Amino acid sequence: MQWHDEFDFIVVGSGAGALAAAIRAQELGLKTLILEKSEYFGGSSAMSGGGLWIPNNHDMARVGIVDSEDDAIAYLKHITAGKVPDAKIRAYVRTAPKMIADFHRRGILRTQAIGNYCDYYPDAPGAKPGGRTMEALPFNSLRLGDERKHLRPTTLLLFNLISAIASDACHNVSGSLYGQWLAMKRVLLWALNIPARLISKESLMLGLGQTVVAPLRYQLKKHKVPLWLSSPAKQLIVENHRVVGVEVEQQGKRVMVRANCGVLMAAGGFDHNQQMREQYLPKPTSGKWSAGNLHNTGDAIVMGQQVGARLAFMDDAWWSPTLQAPGWPTAWILVYEKNMPHGIFVDSTGKRFVNESGPYIDVVSGMYRNHGPDKVSVPCWMIFDTNYRRQSALGKILPSRMQPDKKVDPAFWNDSLFKADSLAGLASKIGIPAHALQQTVTRYNSFCETGIDADFNRGGNISDRFYGKVKYNNPTMGPIIKAPFYAARIDAGDIGTKGGLDTNEHAQVLRDDGSVIAGLYACGNCASSVMGYSYAGAGATLGPAMTFGYIAAETAARENTPCI
């Protein structure tokens, strides 16, 4: 084999898991290379809300919540329902807080616990009412120097300009004075920082997913760890049953790069590979409904399969209802909109079918469960009224008091967004039975009087009520009464797919017979998730991606001591 270059550890992909792994590998003395397919580093991780689900983390005491390894293990075992080996759950619970505390202490990634962001299944054993979801503190992008222009852009900016932080999010949408003050403060900080705006119109202080990725990249840059952009991995190279390198494409040429201690696949899921979606996911399905990074096309999964890896959880995704937005490369996620008062989801028969305020994966699972020959709920409809429109956003469409209908991009109307003066008129526009829709709305409105949803228990626990409006007795419920009425077409979208190369507690990739493929590791959405078919809480994709990336680097260094 003619090698063009040689490293100890090659990381394929540049999301949060990849970068955490590269930091650990470099610290352990492995000469490390990061390969990124696109011209930007960061992947979906940079586009994300940046929540990190880290049970038993170092900052929970500050927010007054007591956690333990035992509670976290009990919770994960309960929600994963026997689908994930205990050893993998234990490895996650043990390593995640250690990694985050270490990064925090050394100033690599400064993080804080969000006190009121509760686990998604608050009634499960071991669940906590907050604190396990963490966020990274804002990071000044100027510190990245030239690398700043290669950081994957995010769409999660206020007015497309101003960065946000996750701990403000529920207050921002709650309608409380405090929430309004927090939003105003961010706008003022941005507006008054005139020197910063002379450099860039967008906030220089990064928030959400970008503020997870950027400091990790900064640390790697400090230690001169190379990151090759526009360099997709194409194939794994195997010698004597061991992965020993990667074939990389650079400017149309194939380059062979040796990896003495191992290769970590961290190249995301198959969000935008339509053929794989149709092969594995429930149908109908479309990559257009995904909010994930467009370059996540399942490459790592295919490469792993070619060297004998078995796959797991391929029929699942990190589901989220999404909206098609004209002119946007990816779909918009609707994480909190479904919880807001004055709106409901209905299927093609005009009936509700799910607790709209439940975890987003469950809402989309409900769309698929309800979908059948006699009714369509993929897509379904979000029906809302003028009260909703006045006080709540829909994706990046601001409340009408800030962005009246005439200022909404005309391409939305009669495509993914409809409006009529009566419910009957709306029903006719979207092709659902008017009488049934009226009946559904009347019944739902009657529940709003008591705040008790007798059909789906909307807003029935603290997780459901995390997003809502404070002025309502059930913060997620308000009647649909004020014309004009609206309907938004809701797709069975996702923030990434979940299944991939099956891995053990050491992040090693496994064959069908359970044996380890020497030299091959995986983390993030190209690996089988430690969450199984569930979703522990906000940050349950990024937390594990970073943790198993970190574990992979430790395993590679430990198993291959002669190479360093």
Helix 16-27 to helix 210-222 angle, to the nearest 10 degrees? 30
Least spacing, CB of residue 118 vs ligand FAD, in Å? 15
**C-alpha to C-alpha distance for 288 and 19, rounded to whole angstroms:** 27
Least spacing, CB of residue 361 vs ligand FAD, in Å? 11
Rg (CA), the chain: 23
- Closer by beta carbon to ligand FAD, 286 or else 296: 296
Least spacing, CB of residue 283 vs ligand FAD, in Å? 22
- Closer by beta carbon to ligand FAD, 42 or else 282: 42
Those residues with Cβ within 8 angstroms of residue 231's Cβ, 6 or more apart along the chain or in another chain = 35, 36, 37, 248, 249, 250, 255
- Closer by beta carbon to ligand FAD, 31 or else 37: 37
- Closer by beta carbon to ligand FAD, 72 or else 346: 72
- Closer by beta carbon to ligand FAD, 344 or else 495: 495
Query: Which of the 8 DSSP states describes residue 152?
Result: P
**C-alpha to C-alpha distance for 519 and 418, rounded to whole angstroms:** 53
- Closer by beta carbon to ligand FAD, 360 or else 447: 360
Least spacing, CB of residue 50 vs ligand FAD, in Å? 5
Partners of residue 413 on adjacent β-strands: 417
Least spacing, CB of residue 156 vs ligand FAD, in Å? 6
Q: Which residue has the tokens 């759950």?
A: 89
Least spacing, CB of residue 445 vs ligand FAD, in Å? 32
Ranked by CB distance to ligand FAD, the top (closest) residue is 15
DSSP SS3 for 228: strand
Least spacing, CB of residue 249 vs ligand FAD, in Å? 9
Least spacing, CB of residue 347 vs ligand FAD, in Å? 25
Sheet holding 133-136, edge to edge: 52-53, 133-136, 111-113
**C-alpha to C-alpha distance for 137 and 127, rounded to whole angstroms:** 25
**C-alpha to C-alpha distance for 476 and 300, rounded to whole angstroms:** 40
Interior CA angle at 9 toward 7 and 15, to 5°?
A: 120
- Closer by beta carbon to ligand FAD, 63 or else 436: 63
- Closer by beta carbon to ligand FAD, 118 or else 432: 118
Parallel, antiparallel or unpaired: strands 343-346 and 380-384: antiparallel
Whole-angstrom CA distances from 461 to 119, 239, 464, 498 are 11, 54, 5, 26
- Closer by beta carbon to ligand FAD, 51 or else 321: 51
DSSP SS3 for 250: strand
Least spacing, CB of residue 484 vs ligand FAD, in Å? 29
Q: Which residues bind ligand FAD (CB under 6 A)?
A: 12-18, 35-38, 43-45, 47-51, 232-233, 266-268, 291-293, 295-296, 299, 318, 333, 495-496, 524-525, 538-542, 545
- Closer by beta carbon to ligand FAD, 487 or else 495: 495
Question: Is-contact 349 324, C-beta < 8 A?
Answer: no
Whole-angstrom CA distances from 82 to 74, 79, 88, 534 are 12, 9, 12, 11
- Closer by beta carbon to ligand FAD, 339 or else 400: 339
Least spacing, CB of residue 142 vs ligand FAD, in Å? 22
Whole-angstrom CA distances from 534 to 45, 54, 360, 439 are 19, 16, 11, 34
**C-alpha to C-alpha distance for 345 and 365, rounded to whole angstroms:** 13
Least spacing, CB of residue 473 vs ligand FAD, in Å? 29
Helix 86-105 to helix 542-559 angle, to the nearest 10 degrees? 90
